[in-house]
Amino acid sequence: MTSIGLAVVGAGYWGPNLVRNAQAVPALDLRWLCDLDAARAAAVLGRYTTVRATTSYAEVLADPAVHAVAIATPAATHFDLARAALEAGKHVLVEKPLTATRAEGEKLVELAREQDRILMCDHTFCYTPVVRRIRELVRGGEVGDIRFVDSVRINLGLVQPDVDVLWDLAPHDLSILDFVLPEDVRPVAVAAHASDPMGTGKACLAYLTVWLSSGAMAHVHVNWLSPTKIRTTVIGGSRRTIVWDDVNPAQRLAVYDRGVEVEALGPDERRQKLISYRTGDVLVPALPEQEALRNMMTEFADAITEGRAPVTDGAAGVRVLTLLEAVSRSLELGGIRVEVEA
């Protein structure tokens, strides 16, 4: 396969970004943009293009030159569109969340296995240079044992018609956790509190707690109503603390040699301890400026060409869905702690 024929489905908010980045990846040959609104699809492509616009998904899937489909439509449509593409023998990329339910996600993973096709979820932040470096620092041992994670993702956002703020924004943070945590550490329980102060019918701000198998805790704040944009994540470890500020291009990532030291004193059964504080240097790693979506589309192409699972495969999408469903159960039960299915 000299090039991978690609069709993008959805010309709304996210689809045009996929179109632009697909056209910049040499291994991909964008052939179709499919949307229910033909005029919108044509407007995204512009006047001078060889990419065809259509309202017919069946026409796209019937084209033997299309080897892969990238889906950027409302979450409720993901399962049916992805299933049809896999059954037609196409590789599939789906924007987050993978599907509307864990059960649907598991069905897609199994179908992709049966069809021997790539199923990938667009967990975009996992393809940023900063998150890749965080993964290296955490899994390479420089941070030490994870003691806490604190994340804030707030801005004046669009109130979504089909999902609440947790299903819209928290997948970013949950997919990042899934990507960077050590392989032997996983979420075991969640609790969520949310509100709809505007009366939109959907939760617009929420606080999410995630308990990890190591005993550490992660906390996530998501909000559509903030007039200021804040995207910060702090990962505290036994050796180093990472601070990621995504809206600060001059210092997106800082690694602090600061923390709390606990030393046991003697064999006394009361386990007396000495608490001390460590203050050391601050390292600001040099990071390349790369567009995450470009890296993500390149990973999709490479996974197809090399016949391997992508970094954020269907299984990663299902793990995030498992957490989201537990979060929704917690909300329904008044914010109590809910165990996460293994």
Q: Are strands 187-195 and 146-156 parallel, antiparallel or unpaired?
A: unpaired
> Residue 166's pLDDT is what?
95
From CA 198, how far away is CA 223, in angstroms rounded? 12
Reply yes or no on whether the pLDDT at 6 is more than 70. Answer: yes
- The least confident of 20-34, 78-92, 251-265 is 251-265
User: What is the rounded average pLDDT for all residues in the chain?
Assistant: 92
Length of the chain: 342
- The DSSP result for 155-168, as a single string, is EE-PPPSSS-HHHH
pLDDT category of residue 261 using cuts at 50, 70 and 90: low
- Tokens standing for 308? 């391997």
Higher pLDDT, 262 or 238: 238
Q: With cut-offs at 50, 70 and 90, classify the pLDDT of residue 163.
A: confident
- Contact 44/11 with Cβ under 8 angstroms? yes
CB contact at 8 A, 219 and 149: yes
pLDDT tens per residue across span 282-313: 889 989 888 999 999 999 999 999 999 999 99
**pTM of the model as a whole:** 0.90
First to last CA, the chain: 38
pLDDT of residue 1: 56
For position 342, what pLDDT does the model report?
76
The model's confidence at residue 88, banded by pLDDT at 50, 70 and 90, is very high
Collect all residues with Cβ–Cβ distance below 8 Å to 96 and sequence separation of at least 6: 121, 122, 123, 124, 171, 172, 175, 317, 320
Nearest to 168 by CA among 6, 14, 46: 14
Domains of the chain, earliest start first: 4-125+292-314 (3.40.50.720), 129-290+323-339 (3.30.360.10)
Query: Taking 70 as the threshold, does the pLDDT of residue 273 lie above it?
Result: no
pLDDT at position 158 is: 76
What is the model's pLDDT at position 31?
Answer: 96
